[in-house]
């Protein structure tokens, strides 16, 4: 896609350098495929040289520039990282949810996916489900926002003009959990129509994160003392997701997405809460 209004590519991750007509450039898979008639400069975040993945005793930090290919390595089921943090078993299914070409796989980034804020953004699903907290850099300074609140609608988010996602922190309490993943699409290699992740925390709590079927992530949290049975989970979904929050596009009608949300949510509940189910 031609971008013949671009006058400069600037190697910077400094929000003070951002001005009207600029866009942060990460993998470029959206910027260079959709094109633009208005952008003047691309500010290249890759120039910052951020370490893609950093691990310590309190969790994992993913740089926004971490690519899907690099994240895939983190999710190796036989690797040391998943052995330490079992919740990361959902990393590879989330990477696979892109149904990606070689280009998307190797160039597109965690931060670019969240900032694009598509309902079917699998990095939004992953980071929201694992209680990821984004560090945002803007002209006014740095702030933190849970990923589940950062994406606010189809292609909409809480980023201020010129603000960038520096990283996403995945905390230890979520990484220690048992997780499970469900995804449905209308076709074999189609975009996600519903993507749900269930989490059973070490304190016995249950967290269900609904994405792709809804315009923005929706999270239901149940303490160990009030775990839901089937009807209670359905009632919680009723209360959390009004009809107009189900996404409507060529990848699935809202009524189908709603039915699949209840079905996959119940599957995750059975798997994670009902031993032997």
Shorter beta-carbon distance to ligand FAD: residue 111 or 198: 111
User: Is 241 an interacting residue with respect to ligand FAD (CB under 6 A)?
Assistant: no
Tell me which residue has its CB nearest to ligand FAD.
Answer: 112
User: Is 120 an interacting residue with respect to ligand FAD (CB under 6 A)?
Assistant: yes
Shorter beta-carbon distance to ligand FAD: residue 31 or 264: 31
CA atoms within 13 A on the CB side of 2: 3
User: Is 211 an interacting residue with respect to ligand FAD (CB under 6 A)?
Assistant: no
* Binding segment toward ligand FAD, per CB under 6 A, in 1-9, 87-95, 110-118, 138-146: 110-118
Residue 43 contacts residue 13 (beta carbons within 8 Å): yes
User: Quick one: DSSP state of residue 134?
Assistant: E
Give the shortest CB-250-to-ligand FAD separation in angstroms: 12
Give the shortest CB-124-to-ligand FAD separation in angstroms: 7
Shorter beta-carbon distance to ligand FAD: residue 177 or 212: 212
Write the interaction track for ligand FAD spanning residues 14-33; mark x where CB under 6 A is met and - where it is not.
---------xxxxxxxxx-x
Map residue 126 onto helix, strand or coil.
Answer: helix
User: Quick one: DSSP state of residue 169?
Assistant: E
* CA separation for the pair 260, 219 (Å, rounded): 16
Q: Which are the contacts of 17, defined by CB distance < 8 A and separation ≥ 6?
A: 10, 43
**Bridge pairing between strands 53-56 and 59-63:** antiparallel
Number of residues engaging ligand FAD in binding (CB under 6 A): 29
Q: Which are the contacts of 164, defined by CB distance < 8 A and separation ≥ 6?
A: 13, 15, 18, 24, 45, 64, 111, 136, 137, 138
Name residues contacting ligand FAD, limited to 145-174 (CB under 6 A).
159, 164-165
Cα angle for residues 239, 242, 243 (degrees, 5° grid): 140
User: Is 108 an interacting residue with respect to ligand FAD (CB under 6 A)?
Assistant: yes
Catalog residues that contact ligand FAD under the rule CB under 6 A.
23-31, 33, 45, 64, 98, 104, 107-109, 111-113, 115-116, 118, 120-121, 159, 164-165, 191
């Amino acid at each position: 896609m031609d971008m013949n209004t671009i006058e400069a590519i600037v190697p910077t991750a400094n929000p003070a350098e951002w001005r009207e007509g600029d866009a942060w450039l990460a993998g470029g898979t959206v910027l260079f495929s959709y094109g633009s008639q208005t952008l003047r400069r691309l500010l290249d975040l890759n120039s910052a040289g951020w370490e893609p993945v950093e691990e310590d005793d309190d969790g994992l930090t993913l740089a926004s520039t971490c690519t899907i290919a690099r994240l895939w390595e983190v999710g190796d089921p036989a690797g040391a990282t998943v052995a330490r943090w079992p919740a990361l078993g959902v990393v590879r299914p989330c990477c696979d949810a892109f149904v990606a070409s070689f280009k998307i796989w190797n160039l597109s980034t965690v931060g670019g996916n969240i900032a694009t804020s598509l309902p079917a953004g699998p990095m939004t699903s992953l980071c929201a489900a694992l209680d990821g907290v984004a560090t945002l850099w803007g002209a006014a300074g740095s702030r933190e926002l849970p990923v589940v609140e950062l994406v606010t609608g189809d292609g909409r988010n809480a980023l201020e003009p010129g603000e960038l996602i520096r990283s996403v922190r995945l905390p230890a309490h979520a990484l220690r959990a048992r997780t499970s993943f469900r995804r449905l699409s209308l076709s074999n290699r189609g975009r996600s129509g519903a993507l749900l992740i269930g989490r059973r925390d070490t304190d016995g709590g249950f967290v269900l994160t609904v994405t792709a079927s809804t315009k923005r992530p929706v999270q239901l949290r149940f303490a160990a003392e009030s775990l839901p049975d089937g009807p209670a989970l359905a009632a919680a979904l009723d209360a959390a997701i009004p009809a107009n929050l189900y996404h409507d596009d060529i990848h699935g009608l809202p009524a189908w997405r709603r039915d699949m949300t209840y079905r996959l949510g119940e599957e995750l509940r059975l798997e994670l809460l009902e031993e032997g189910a």
